[in-house]
Homo-oligomer: A and B are copies of this chain.
Amino acid sequence: MRELETAEHRFIEAMGLYFERRGGTRIGGRIYALLMLAGEPLSNKRIAELLKVSAASVSTNLRACADMGLVEPASVPGDRQHYHVIHSQGWEGKLRVAEESLSAFARICAEALAVPRLAGNRSLREASAFCDFYKAELTGIAERWRAAHAPRPPRPDKTSKGRTA
């Protein structure tokens, strides 16, 4: 990818702050934003260059992004660097994150409700009920989104460089 211009830096920094605020890391957000903008596979090295951060940080944060399902590995024929692209089903990933967060919350409540003395607590019961409701809704959302956007089969008019899984 070419060097970054002002508007792109703005986007990248904004995303960095967004990530930071939500409990992630700033560089994680920057990498994610950069890959969005790139539209093509980028190597660790190139990411470090463009973002002006250490290779170590790129490696760590890239792994975190991958674990969150935001980014996935790619490879470029004839190049042994590690490449990365935005995860193709990234948006469902966002739903998955919401689902995991909700499940963690539900688990905490369920554990408390298992204690006899707390089993009758109103807030706890409502929390639990809401979690069940919300979880069901989330799967519905995922299905509707998939139905509306996923069935489009991958068209061959990608940017330029070939990409493989």
Interface of A is mostly: helix
A53 within 8 A of B: no
Are A111 and B11 touching (Cβ within 8 A)?
yes
The residue that A111 contacts in the complex, of B14, B144, B148, with Cβ under 8 A, is B14
A83 vs chain B, min Cβ distance (A): 16
Contact B145 A130 (CB under 8 A): yes
Known interface pairs A36-B124, A115-B7, A117-B5. Does A133 touch B145 (Cβ–Cβ under 8 Å)?
Answer: yes
Choose from B18, B39, B98, B149 the contact partner of A123 (Cβ within 8 Å): B39
- Complex copy number for this chain: 2
Interface size of A in residues (CB-CB distance below 8 Å): 46
Known: A36-B123, A98-B98, A130-B94. A112 touches B11 (CB 8 A): yes
Contact residues of A between 97 and 146, Cβ < 8 Å to B: 98, 101, 104-105, 108, 111-112, 115, 117-118, 121-124, 126-127, 129-130, 133-134, 137, 141, 144-145
Chain A residues in contact with chain B, CB under 8 A?
A: 5, 7-8, 10-11, 14-15, 18, 21-23, 35-37, 39, 86, 90-91, 94-95, 98, 101, 104-105, 108, 111-112, 115, 117-118, 121-124, 126-127, 129-130, 133-134, 137, 141, 144-145, 148-149
